[in-house]
Chain A
Amino acid sequence: MTAAMTTSSFPFGPVSAVRGRAVVIAGDDIDTDRIIPARFLKCVTFDGLGEQVFADDRAELSGEHPFDRAELQGASVLVVNRNFGCGSSREHAPQALMRWGIRALVGESFAEIFYGNCLALGIPCFTASHASVLSLQEALIADNYQELSLSLATASLENSQGQLWQLELQSGPQQMLASGQWDATSQLLANDGELARTAASLPYINGF
């Protein structure tokens, strides 16, 4: 398996655009066990996961998997179909994709926990209609996976031919990414007084 680790830094600060080649993984209901099989969860850091992403699917296709194709190395956008990332809550799945190089996803729909995990890493998940995703996937293949660019502000994607796709990005995640506040910890810590009041109002915290 060729290790295709990008050396570029992980998302940090405001995220306003993602540029790069896009890789297509077709199919509905691609679960997190396929993105990163459970045996690779035996780790106490996420460091090695980029090499293990889609391990079983890649082994099955012996070199023909999109993540192994030479021309797609260094790609930063992943285009998928419906309910991508369903199954387990393992953050190892978006971590593995991120460590391989993915910085944004486009698909018809995403499983909720997966979506939230991506956001917590600074990776936007754009959605689009069934027809739009199919047309995008076809165009990417026809265009031989040339560079494209995604704008968070307009939730749009433009390919090297100047073709434009209107996507959707929920306004909450859009704002969080644009402001660089997609990492929730500091926001949550800012409201400690309110948190203590909420806790104090709950019967089960106070022995009823």
Chain B
Amino acid sequence: MSAGTLYDKVWDLHRVAQLPGGSTQLFIGLHLIHEVTSPQAFAALKDLGLPVRLPERTVATVDHIVPTTSQARPFADPLAEEMLATLERNCSDYGIPLHGLGSGRQGIVHVIAPELGLTQPGMTVACGDSHTSTHGAFGAIAFGIGTSQVRDVLASQSLSMGKLKVRRIWVGGQLQPGVYAKDLVLHIIRVLGVKGGVGYAYEFAGPAIDALTMEERMTLCNMAIEGGARCGYVNPDAVTFAYLQGRPYAPKAQAWERAVAWWRGLASGADAVFDDEVRFDAAAIAPTVTWGITPGQGIGVDETVPTLEQTEPDERPLAQEAYRYMDLQPGTPIAGTAVDVCFIGSCTNGRLSDLQAAAAVAKGRHVAPGIKAFVVPGSEQVAAAAEAEGLDQVFREAGFEWREPGCSMCLAMNPDRLEGRQISASSSNRNFKGRQGSATGRTLLMSPAMVAAAAIAGKVCDVRQMINTTP
């Protein structure tokens, strides 16, 4: 059993009581809500006649259903409009701050909470969205919950939870140029599998993790859930504190000094005990691309789609399903696979550094004929920062569309979607069947720089060749 890890310490600090069924009542320090998974929770709260226990620890935004071409109200889609109107009404009825469209602070929930300084080390963070694991980048224990649990957090600011085991994922060496946090996490999931993390929290540690920026750590923790781990985290350090200092909700003046001292003490100690440890070498990782229908079906861009014999026996039915669905031939190189749509954005890779990496590839080049390529910033703040640097111009000149912030084609609840059998190069996190809005649409997951390279080439290609040559 783990002991002395950040997970153990934060868990103990937030324990309220032991519940009759044997689970623990855990206090939730930050509750994030959005339009898709909250309306039914508020309806249940109203039915029960209960107030929101701590509206000041609850923060709302709108992200999943917002259009990215025009965000004028009312939205063209009446269902989307009804969802936002319902969220607005609930927030105003219960006194919950809503960072709405045009506020300058709207965006994907997992992008805005960190950039506003809401997410801090040592917190428990819950949200009705599985990618809440993102916030673990700060040394928070952050996890996705269902709508009944959203209701519970609204009503009681706490949850009934069972404690997870802790696996340390130690990453030595350094990522090579052209290889990003996205490649690292796709590689980890490829090796440990999409079920490998079930029952675990993942602690990411080691020299390669220490060297990551906060935005890269967010990409990494964001996809812990794709590896089956309900939460993933990185111990807070100087990189974390430098990112947080001066953000709107970060502690100020003397409180800042006290906060940093407290945060430092939360990190897993040298004597921490883990349930399990797995080691990786960052230097050995290539840009990684998925070829199948789960995020675990990934390969290096210089590899071939695995043949049935190259997959583990119990993975073969899924591999066969993936061959049929994706229409990719086992044994053929993934590089060279023609794509139709290129999407840069999402809570995995819609932050400023993601757009910078993609723009560096796009600059001075042009999207291949017939390819639809678009960039969706993760938040209004990301959009403003990117525009201040002229990244929007770089993308437009290269033939990409520059859109308004939101989740967009990550899950296609807005008008952005694949049509028919189209195949996308996507910087998002899920390549499930039908994920991007067409029941037969296909998704290749990769880093934003790799998506930009695919847009330029019209097919999957190794971005390392583009960053080593001038256009």
Contact = CB atoms under 8 A, between A and B. Distances in A.
Contacts of B19: 184, 187-188
A189 B19 CA distance: 11
A44 B87 CA distance: 10
B14 A202 contact: yes
A176 interface: yes
A112 interface: yes
Contacts of B318: 27-29
A195 B160 CA distance: 13
A178 B190 CA distance: 39
A89 B27 contact: no
A121 B149 CA distance: 11
B327 interface: no
Q: Most A CB atoms within 10 A — which of B48, B57, B148?
A: B148
4 A-B pairs with the lowest CB-CB distances in the bound complex, closest first: A120-B148, A117-B146, A91-B146, A89-B144
24 contacts: A27-B317, A28-B317, A29-B194, A29-B294, A33-B411, A38-B437, A39-B437, A42-B83, A60-B439, A88-B129, A88-B430, A89-B37, A89-B132, A89-B146, A175-B22, A184-B159, A185-B156, A194-B16, A194-B25, A195-B53, A198-B14, A202-B29, A203-B258, A205-B57
A192 B21 CA distance: 18
A120 B434 CA distance: 27
A113 to B, nearest CB: 6
A44 B83 CA distance: 6
A89 B129 contact: yes
Q: Most B CB atoms within 10 A — which of A34, A87, A121?
A: A87
A134 to B, nearest CB: 12
A88 B145 CA distance: 9
A62 interface: no
A121 B151 CA distance: 12
A121 B128 CA distance: 16
B195 A27 contact: no
Interface of A: 27-29, 31, 33-34, 37-39, 41-46, 56, 59-60, 82-83, 86-92, 94-95, 109, 111-113, 116-117, 120-121, 171-173, 175-176, 179, 181-185, 187-189, 191-192, 194-195, 198-199, 201-205, 207-208
B20 A175 contact: yes
Contacts of A116: 145-146, 149
Given A33-B435, A89-B129, A195 B146 contact: no
Contacts of B5: none
B20 A188 contact: no
Given A184-B160, A208-B258, 20 more contacts: A28-B317, A33-B432, A34-B432, A38-B411, A44-B40, A83-B228, A89-B132, A91-B37, A91-B148, A94-B146, A112-B198, A113-B144, A176-B20, A179-B20, A182-B21, A184-B148, A189-B155, A191-B17, A203-B262, A207-B255
A83 B198 contact: yes
Interface of B: 13-17, 19-23, 25, 27, 29, 36-37, 39-40, 43, 48, 50, 53-54, 57, 64-65, 77, 79-80, 82-83, 86, 120, 122-123, 128-130, 132, 143-149, 151-152, 155-160, 162, 194-195, 198-199, 228, 230, 251, 255-256, 258-259, 262, 294, 314, 317-318, 321, 411-413, 430, 432-435, 437, 439
Contact of B195 (A39, A44, A86, A188): A86
A169 B25 CA distance: 21
Contacts of A94: 146
Given A38-B411, A109-B195, A208 B439 contact: no
Contacts of B255: 207-208
Contacts of A111: 198, 228
Nearest to B38: A44
B25 A188 contact: yes
A43 B36 CA distance: 8
B397 to A, nearest CB: 33
A41 B123 CA distance: 29
A201 B48 contact: no
Contacts of B155: 185, 188-189
Nearest to A203: B262
A208 B40 contact: no
B16 A59 contact: no
A159 B162 CA distance: 32
